[in-house]
Structure 1
Amino acid sequence: MMAQSACVLIESDGEKFTPYFTGINKVKFRNKLADESYCIGGVLSKDSYLNQNNIISTALASGASAIHPGYGFLSENPGFAALCQKNGIAFIGPSDKVISKMGDKDMARKTMIEAGVPVIPGSSLIEDLTQAVEEAKRIGFPLLIKARSGGGGRGIRLVKSAEEFEQNYNMATQEALSAFGDGMVYMEKYLKHVKHIEMQILADNYGNVLCLGERDCSVQRKNQKLIEESPAVLIPEETRRKMMEVSAKAAAAANYTGAGTIEYLYDKDGNFYFMEMNTRLQVEHPVTEMITGIDLVKWQIRIAAGLKLNIPQDAITFDNHAIECRINAEKVHQGIYRASGGKIEMLHIPGGPQVRFDTAIYHGYTVPPFYDSMIGKLIVSAKTRDEAIRKMKAALCELIIEGVEHNAEFQMELLSSEEFENATYTTDLLAEGYSKLERSAVSNETLDELTVTCPRCKNTLTSSELLNWLNVCPYCRYHFRINTRQRLRWICDKDSFVEIDKELESTNIINFPGYDKKLENARLESAESDAVICGFGTIGGVETAIFVMEPYFMMGSMGSVVGEKITRLFEAAREKNKPVVGFTVSGGARMQEGILSLMQMAKTSGAVKLHSDAGNLFICVLTDPTTGGVTASFAMEADIIISEPFALIGFAGPRVIEQTIKKKLPSGFQRAEFLLERGFIDEIVDRRNLKTYITQVLKLHIKTDNN
């Protein structure tokens, strides 16, 4: 399929930060089997794997005649499929029209209904809250609100009662808009104690459709699959044949070509309902390959090249049993799942007949924080299910990955559970936060620890869970407020930060009534002398001037001492030719200091200007909320302006603005996502990735200076 070479690999630059793509860079990567490899952009997916122009440019420059999109990023993007066609490049997958039709969950449901495929009771697209309430009454609770453009387990909210419906509906539409750029949702009846069964199909350009049987993908956490197996042992043969026939009919109705899956929910009464169609290769495709002997990737390429399927349906047999365990770089302990990164210091891959490990990792590989946590897929096959389980356990014991924490031990526990051994497990096996497997390991001390309800998604979190995730909700990415010392511990290299001007403290300069008491209470509440900490430390080995504003000292309000400290820090950084990294949080100027407080805006702005004129870098991270004088002065004068997700950023608050202009503000106004779209900030970065991101920018700046 390649005009000039057998295989061309495209990658983001995983070793050095490349913020802007300026051309096709041919680079050499270690331990790669491709004939050629090209860098297509920076480590963030939007700069590389989602950058359609860069990928098409690379394909044209390398002479590639086809693009295989894999099973992530642009693999289900109709615009990208159309762009390939426009540039004379074969997209190895279905047409853009089919991707659009089946990617639109509402349209997919309608297509399946017309084809006679049973679907889950539900609604069409919801236009507004009034319609949503009426449809919810008709469907009944519990129900699921699902994003039309959702995928990968995202964009789904479970609503258990009418009392919690309105709030969940509003959050679902906002989340859908934020995640997929499409706020439209629909609803389905929530089916409990069901299995997630998917049928693998292949279809060519001549109307031939082949069904390669089913996979049981019911072991899931937060709608993300962990274990897949085939065949699904509890499905009667008659039901299996019917599902295969219906799946072939569904693919034909959609005019589908290539490899794809039809996904169903299968209940305890033997009923099955269409859920969605994945118009791409699935992560778990090796399970089907192991039991049928058919190479799905090879056939995708053959179909895209115009070849006919030459395999009759009755030639498909399922003589073996196959299991896949997803190996994720994460710590799994007592119901807490924390992503793990780092350098792989030792790697031993299991081997033997019908044992397969699909991975890109190698000894010395560094697991980055930018993508999905899956680092490998362990697949085994044997004559019987019991033999396959034993073989998988042996393979998991043989798998050695040192340097990053991973979930192989947890997978072993899942395989040993009664529910898995007797195949009665359903999608809610791990749905309770603490799984049945983990409850016995949870001590009374852990159960009695402090719990917090996330204000955004309403999930209950333990204090240790929050600590492990840097005070970020693992379910919805809500960023809890943190104090300056926590921030410094997480952003600076260990024991590197040295504070300056600690002795500076605010006083009641204009004898404002009650201000002395306010200052005393603020010092007690925050354990800090004022609303900012300044000093020098290293971030990723780069010496940096750092200031962090304290939310628990009068909400980070800006008084004369705050302005003085920040000004002195910029002056010291300018003398040393060091970059400045600042973290802002503020409720505005400190009116108890009158004009002296307002003067700090001009004072700090002047210090930033002199620092910049000397050729030094200033990075500012805006946290929730950053408002008033801080926003108007140094916060928005940085060379690179970063925000944490969902942060409120502005001068006056939305309510004040609405009352002043007498108009309704657009949805999401003054939130980070709204401002990023309109160019007011440069990037939104999750707190868990901030240190890595800032380190890369700092090192790039140093390299540029040296050049």
Structure 2
Amino acid sequence: MLIDGFTHIKKVLIANRGEIACRIIKSCKELGLTSVCIYTGADRTSAHVRLADEVWLLPGADQSAYIQQEDVLAIALKSGAHAVIPGYGFLSENDDFAEKVERAGLTWVGPSSRVITQFGLKHTARELAVKSGVPVIQGTDLLSSAQEALEAAERIGYPVMLKATAGGGGMGLQICWEASAIEEAFRSVEARGAALFKNTSMFMEKYVARSRHVEVQVFGNGMGGAVHFGERECSIQRRHQKVVEECPSPFVENRPGMREKLTSCAVALAGNVSYSSAGTVEFLVDDSTGDFYFLEMNTRLQVEHGITEMCYDVDLVSLMLQQAEMQARGKGGLPIDSMSALQKGSPRGYAIEARVYAEIPTRNFAPSPGLLQHIQWHDAPGVRIDTWITSGTNISPYYDPMIAKVIVWDASTHDAAVDKMLDTLRLSKVQGCPTNFQYLAAIVESESFRRGDTTTAFLTSEGFKFSPTTVDVLSGGAYTTIQDLPARRGIGNGVPESGPLDPVSFRLANILVGNDEGTEGLEMTLSGPELLFHAPAVIAVTGGLVDVQISGEVVETNSRLLVPGGATVKIGMVTKGCRAYLAVRGGFPAVPSYLGSKSTTTTLKLGGYQGRQLVANDCLELDCRTAEWAGEYRSISIPAAARLDNLWTSDWDLYTMPGPHDEPEFTTEEDRKVLYETTWKISHNATRSGYRLKGPCLKWAREDGGEGGSHPANVIDEPYPYGGLNWNGDDPVILPLDAPMAGGLATTSTIVRADFWRLGQCRPGDSLRFKRISWDSARMLRQRTEDYLNAARRYIESGKGTVELIDTRLPEEWTETILHRIPGRVEVVFRQSGDSYLHVTYGPMTASASTRAHIQHRVEKLKKEADIIAVIAATRSYSVQFDSLKITQSEMLQRLVELEHSLGDSHQRIAGRLFKFPILLDDPLAKQAIDEYMTKIRDSAVYLPDNMTYIAKANGVADPNVAKRSILACRQLVTEVSFLAGTPLMLPLDPRLVYVAQKYNPVRPFTAEGTVGIGGPLGVIYPLDAPGGYQLWGRTLTPWDAFATRPGFTDPWLLKDFDQIQYFEVDQAEFERIYDQYKAGRYEFEVEDTFFDPTSYEEFLQSIRQEAEDFVAKRDAAGKAVTQEERLLLEAWRASQQSDDGVAANGPLEEGGQSVVAPMTSSVWKIKVKAGDVVKEGDVLVILEAMKMEIPVRADSAADGRSVRTISVKSGSLLDPGQTILTLA
């Protein structure tokens, strides 16, 4: 350091964001200075917000907040900052802002406002250069008209360049090659100057066609002293924006004496204007002669300053802050002798910088804002990454798309530095929204770059070849996602398994192209995408019947196909079945793996392509070997008789096994007839999270769910099996692979794993029946499926042999739900739950921390067993998932029974952590959710209009505030982390404070993340915005962070079984402050280690036994009365709903009219026309909704020119296929 510490500057406000803010924070920390950062709501996930010592949220619109001078200056003053450092961009070269900072008594870390003004206009900068003896290219003063420009061009000689005097960064430039271009160019620069810089002035310079951009890094002390830190080559530019920079310049390195000339000119200019702080003098260099000319001076730190720091062993930001300190002391600046000691005659080694942008090169470098899902930088000596992104960062559309600077340095040779850059680009992973990584690699690996033979025209020259191996999404189809196998099986903690819903068709597509069967591919629901392949590829399409075209030519499905580079692949409507699958040889390697899988779970925004379905303008990367594989292409198809679509139908028989709740405690014999003899219909509400069925209700064998809730289908939360038939009150829902993994609803039967592929091809409007089979039959069907795929693989690989279609016929025999019981004080019941799960329940339908501790000892032991896929624990039960091809049901049952006997009653303490969570009791978002529920769903229920009033009444407490305070006072034991997204279920440790509440019926469509609720005896914190059924009583912080970047998170789920929560109340202002800190990654929970001691807990229970029994008796009596009241209200509400079922009916069609009908089972979302409107072919008439997807119904050619006569539906109407929507005259 050149000074003796910081006495006047202690706190520095960084008037910037992103990468440069992070870079400045680093130097501040090293110097012991307090960094103050500003940010916008869009930038909450930026690393600079987490790294700064202090942060302030900017007011105003996100897109303009960083340039609002008064707001930034106000924060600087409020924060007590002593200096303001601007970085680059935004306000960094704004002379007005620099002057305001100085007038406010703060130190401006940079050149004076006077110097910024002088160099801010290119014509005055040019004059200063001339006065300093710096060569300038032939040019003019300011031009007043196009005619004057024309005359000047004739004098100078073509080509020429018109430059906006206030321009910068390549903006406001026009090259003219001939006289005819002058007038239009003049108007263009004038307009750009007015729009961008509020200054229409311009001048002209001779344009050097084959030129280089070389700049010199200078540093001045504000007193006439200046030094240099060598030159940088910045010739590789796109649209006059730098892309790759080098230090030293290869061009200068090969011309003895040139560096000395360049740097002496730059230092002279800086010294003559008494330049202060860091600056850059840019030169235009004639590639043919080596002559150089002044371009401009950047009165700020440059983006590419890092390569100078690497080669000259200097920290330019630190120097800027030291210079500012000397100015603040009134000493003018740093001593020139000390500065000169840092100046070296030549650079040390070679450095290269590549700018990483969130952009799509194949789409004319369009920006690609979105989610960055996985960041992993190559770490090696001489590699420096300047960035602001981490896994989980959202790239905003509001700011510059640069997300990182990759900087490499090597002491030996330029070639070694090039090799290091290539390694870094190839071995780093920046996955999520598209970037220019492939483009940068193409630049660096080109021979021209290695030779140093790159001019400013390099990227548009024939010497540069960029051959992207990418696929542009022209249209995303109805619902297209990335899926793979085995997906996230076994992760637990509320993370769904996901993966393809028809895994057999998916595996077959991969076999056809030569991939491993689990390689990521596309799942396309109802209709597929249109894709532009920029490189040749080998693909296959399987699954539902669908039309496939390659550049307009219809091709076969279930076949290996060759896509030429530049061709489009268009996947049409699925006409039979529901889902088609597209595999590409090599998969999509740039799609990141999340928790071990690339599968997409759109409901949680996890995995796949930015956690969502594909949409137009997305871009997928192919394997770099795709062209090589395409060159080896050999045609092959699945034999017609063996194609799976031979089995597609609209009337399905799906194989199920009874359980875990199809047994006399829950279902009657009449219910069983309903379950297995009814032909059910799939409603329009059928998604990857749940297939809602239409059909009769069950009578149930019990009146209510006890502590689980008021409906007989309610249970105290239990694990759910995938494929389970789950009862949401009276509504049956099949649980596919994105469904919750636990909940408080009964599951009567479970579709076997071997029939998931047929379930995946069921679509809204289809009919289905559940056929009971035994575990042995389920295993037989699964083995037949494996045999089919093995035969298909042998045939595809060799072209020989036969492939026989899967035989789906099975004997009509089954085993009952309950497999074994162990009687005792707490009865243990072992239940089957499909062919891949066993489900173990303990005691009656009551919640007990002691029972949960008993379960925990079993679960901990089972989780250590390698051949078990997953163990999911709940409050009074657990389930074990196993591979039915590797372990039989009887073997697994025996292991569990033996484990139960061997462990007995364990009294070991269970370790956990105590978290203190802030809670806002009177939450406006909860009130809003209730109000919307009453307006849109149900306006009368015992829990309306105030959930807390209901909770108190249902538990025999007169005052809702007493109930609220009681819940607040009691520690909550985390009994499970399940459902979705790490949802914690919690039980109060004091049974005198265990309140019981029914769940919403029907469910609430929206609940804000962090909402705290009660359902049955359990509390919950909603981790995400989602539908919900628990009664609401407050809001806290979400215990879910998908990328585990916030303090306290080591996994996406914060909490674990047997953690404990203690709430502390805050008011709304304090909650909003904490919430903002939390979202910005700056809030730290108060947490301490604790434990649950079963022995001590039992002693506590005995000490309060009578009080607890009295409370429960009072609670149960109040609950029964409220439940009866709710039954009457629910019956009245249902009757009102049945009077208007929303189903449209077909009417007679008038002669000459045309009916527009529903293409599938769906509901009406939006009607886009009205009676009397004249429609054209292609017009959207109505938008339907099915499977949570929008389905536009368009006017066909026969409708062109007709008028709308009648509309037969309204928003919300339910439609069957062929149902009339409207008629046209």
TM-score range, shorter chain: 0.5 to 0.7
Structure 1 unaligned runs (5+)? 17-26, 451-466, 471-494, 508-522, 547-560, 576-707
| Aligned positions of 1:442-591 closer than 5 A | 468=617, 498-502=1165-1169, 504-506=1171-1173, 527-528=1178-1179
Cα distance, 1:237 vs structure 2: 2.8
Quick check: 1:305 aligned with 2:355? no
Cα distance, 1:398 vs structure 2: 1.9
> 1:34 pairs with 39, 52, 62, which one?
52
| Aligned positions of 1:369-388 closer than 5 A | 369-383=397-411, 384-388=413-417
Contact 1:290-1:381 at 8 Å conserved across structures: yes
Amino acid at match of 2:408: V
| Aligned positions of 1:685-696 closer than 5 A | none
Cα distance, 1:180 vs structure 2: 1.1
The verdict on how the C-alpha distance between 1:105 and 1:204 changes in structure 2, with shifts beyond 3 A counting, is same
The verdict on how the C-alpha distance between 1:496 and 1:294 changes in structure 2, with shifts beyond 3 A counting, is farther
| 1-structure distance, mates of 2:154, 2:102 | 45
Cα distance, 1:121 vs structure 2: 1.2
| 1-structure distance, mates of 2:408, 2:47 | 30
Contact 1:13-1:41 at 8 Å conserved across structures: no
> 2:277 pairs with 218, 236, 258, which one?
258
Aligned position for 1:396: 425
Greater share of residues in helix: 1
| 2-structure distance, mates of 1:402, 1:344 | 6
Aligned position for 1:279: 299
CA deviation map 1:576-597 (0-9, x unaligned): xxxxxxxxxxxxxxxxxxxxxx
| 2-structure distance, mates of 1:278, 1:497 | 59
| 2-structure distance, mates of 1:338, 1:128 | 34
Q: 2:242 is paired with a residue of what secondary structure? A: strand
Q: 1:344 is paired with a residue of what secondary structure? A: strand
| 2-structure distance, mates of 1:63, 1:146 | 41
Identify the range of structure 1 (246-255 vs 195-204) with the bigger mean alpha-carbon deviation: 246-255
Contact 1:329-1:407 at 8 Å conserved across structures: yes
Contact 2:46-2:389 at 8 Å conserved across structures: no
Contact 1:13-1:42 at 8 Å conserved across structures: no
Structure 2 unaligned runs (5+)? 1-8, 13-32, 327-333, 470-533, 537-550, 552-563, 569-615, 620-1161, 1193-1202, 1213-1225
> 1:436 pairs with 464, 488, 505, which one?
464
> 2:372 pairs with 337, 344, 366, which one?
344
Cα distance, 1:233 vs structure 2: 2.0
Q: 1:427 is paired with a residue of what secondary structure? A: coil
Amino acid at match of 1:2: K
Quick check: 1:214 aligned with 2:242? no
The verdict on how the C-alpha distance between 1:502 and 1:30 changes in structure 2, with shifts beyond 3 A counting, is same
Cα distance, 1:253 vs structure 2: 2.1
The verdict on how the C-alpha distance between 1:303 and 1:103 changes in structure 2, with shifts beyond 3 A counting, is same
Contact 1:229-1:322 at 8 Å conserved across structures: yes
Q: 1:312 is paired with a residue of what secondary structure? A: helix
> 2:166 pairs with 131, 138, 149, which one?
149
Contact 1:355-1:379 at 8 Å conserved across structures: yes
| 2-structure distance, mates of 1:439, 1:3 | 49
> 1:166 pairs with 183, 194, 197, which one?
183
Greater share of residues in strand: 2
| 2-structure distance, mates of 1:497, 1:326 | 48
| Aligned positions of 1:415-426 closer than 5 A | 415-426=444-455
Q: 1:127 is paired with a residue of what secondary structure? A: coil
Amino acid at match of 1:502: V
| 1-structure distance, mates of 2:1184, 2:274 | 62
Cα distance, 1:399 vs structure 2: 1.1
Amino acid at match of 2:292: F
Aligned position for 1:289: 309
Cα distance, 1:498 vs structure 2: 4.3
Number of residue pairs matched by the alignment:
484
| 2-structure distance, mates of 1:405, 1:440 | 12
Q: 2:353 is paired with a residue of what secondary structure? A: strand
Cα distance, 1:528 vs structure 2: 3.6
Contact 2:370-2:432 at 8 Å conserved across structures: yes
| Aligned positions of 1:12-51 closer than 5 A | 12-14=40-42, 32-42=50-60, 44-46=62-64, 48-51=65-68
Quick check: 1:324 aligned with 2:353? yes
The verdict on how the C-alpha distance between 1:527 and 1:163 changes in structure 2, with shifts beyond 3 A counting, is same
| 1-structure distance, mates of 2:140, 2:121 | 14
Aligned position for 1:105: 122
Quick check: 1:248 aligned with 2:275? no
Amino acid at match of 1:500: I
| 1-structure distance, mates of 2:87, 2:1164 | 44
Cα distance, 1:145 vs structure 2: 1.2
| 2-structure distance, mates of 1:99, 1:70 | 14
Q: 1:94 is paired with a residue of what secondary structure? A: coil
Contact 2:48-2:388 at 8 Å conserved across structures: no
| 2-structure distance, mates of 1:426, 1:340 | 28
| 2-structure distance, mates of 1:40, 1:285 | 28
Contact 1:213-1:244 at 8 Å conserved across structures: yes
| Aligned positions of 1:219-230 closer than 5 A | 219-230=236-247
Cα distance, 1:496 vs structure 2: 11
| 2-structure distance, mates of 1:321, 1:115 | 30
Select the structure of larger CA radius of gyration: 2
| 1-structure distance, mates of 2:60, 2:465 | 40
| 1-structure distance, mates of 2:347, 2:267 | 18
Quick check: 1:135 aligned with 2:152? yes
Cα distance, 1:3 vs structure 2: 4.6
Amino acid at match of 2:10: M
Q: 2:386 is paired with a residue of what secondary structure? A: strand
The verdict on how the C-alpha distance between 1:350 and 1:43 changes in structure 2, with shifts beyond 3 A counting, is farther
Contact 1:205-1:308 at 8 Å conserved across structures: no
> 1:85 pairs with 102, 107, 110, which one?
102
Amino acid at match of 1:286: G
Contact 2:37-2:56 at 8 Å conserved across structures: yes
| 1-structure distance, mates of 2:442, 2:1164 | 42
Cα distance, 1:44 vs structure 2: 3.4
Contact 1:265-1:272 at 8 Å conserved across structures: yes
The verdict on how the C-alpha distance between 1:117 and 1:15 changes in structure 2, with shifts beyond 3 A counting, is closer
| 2-structure distance, mates of 1:347, 1:131 | 54
| 2-structure distance, mates of 1:29, 1:379 | 19
| 2-structure distance, mates of 1:318, 1:35 | 34
Contact 1:340-1:405 at 8 Å conserved across structures: yes
Amino acid at match of 1:116: G
Cα distance, 1:431 vs structure 2: 3.1
Quick check: 1:9 aligned with 2:9? no
Amino acid at match of 2:62: L
